[in-house]
Amino acid sequence: QQQVKQSPQSLIVQKGGISIINCAYENTAFDYFPWYQQFPGKGPALLIAIRPDVSEKKEGRFTISFNKSAKQFSLHIMDSQPGDSATYFCAATGSNFNKFYFGSGTKLNVKP
Amino acid sequence: DTAVSQTPKYLVTQMGNDKSIKCEQNLGHDTMYWYKQDSKKFLKIMFSYNNKELIINETVPNRFSPKSPDKAHLNLHINSLELGDSAVYFCASTRTAMNTEAFFGQGTRLTVV
């Protein structure tokens, strides 16, 4: 059973547009929801993370929206740039899990 | 300085061989992990060690044997390599075994021919 479901699998956005990636989770015991960015040939790197006590977190052009009742969270990239082209992973974990459950990834391509 | 470093970056080997991948972190973290990323980019946990002790073993074949000589190192030895083992293997670390930021190495691309 996949604990974290991510969509879409791929996304093409024009430069300056908004990129939106969605994730849904199963386990209500999760309490840490990070987003990782991975460039080709590199390891994933933390982009932004949220805990369920807030509904939104913003860092620069990146925003996480969190809906606890729906068990969903999403990443919004404002003013998307070609340099944002990468694969994005959502993840979830909690104090008792000792590991991250990753979504299946979204390959974002920002067209110049 | 690289926070989490893996060697080698690329590994091409024949079926049936035995190979090792090394990982070191200089962050002072307690917990280290091995993740496997398949051709579809899916990241799947394999093992987790906390202070040199195995805490997660996710139904990985016995041919895979992790070893943690100290909490800064977590190596992965693979016996009798199979074609299906071809993937990118990532080492990662977190400050504790709890829910904190994970730092990933650059990955080891293993190709079994």
* Best residue of B7, B43, B56, B60 to probe chain A, by most A CBs closer than 10 Å: B43
Concatenate the DSSP letters of all residues of chain B into one string.
Answer: --SEEEE-SEEEE-TT--EEEEEEE-S--SEEEEEEE-TT--EEEEEEEETTEEEEE-S--TTEEEEEEETTEEEEEE-S--GGG-EEEEEEEESSSSS--EEE---EEEEE-
pLDDT at residue B74, as a whole number? 97
Nearest residue of A to residue B6 by CA position?
Answer: A43
Least CB–CB distance from B56: residue in A98, A105, A107: A98
Taking the C-alpha atoms of residue B5 and residue A27, their distance in angstroms, rounded to an integer, is 32
Buried-exposed string A89-112: b where 16+ CB fall within 10 A, e elsewhere? bbbbbbeebbbbbbbbbbebebee
What's the mean per-residue pLDDT of chain B?
93
Residues 66-85 of chain B with CB under 8 A from chain A are none
Digit-coded pLDDT (tens) for B36-59: 999 888 999 999 999 989 998 887
- Residues of A whose CB is below 8 A from B33: 99
Give B2's pLDDT tier (boundaries 50, 70, 90): confident
Give me the percent of chain B exceeding a pLDDT of 70: 98
pLDDT over threshold 70, residue B1: no
pLDDT at residue B30, as a whole number? 93
All residues at 6 or more sequence positions from B107 whose CB lies less than 8 Å from its CB, including other chains: A41, A42, A43, B6, B9, B37, B88, B89, B90
* Residue pairs between chains A and B whose CB atoms are closer than 8 Å: 59
Digit-coded pLDDT (tens) for A22-77: 999 999 999 999 999 999 999 999 999 999 999 999 999 999 999 999 999 999 99
- Residues of A whose CB is below 8 A from B7: none
Digit-coded pLDDT (tens) for B79-88: 999 999 999 9
Give me the percent of chain A exceeding a pLDDT of 70: 99
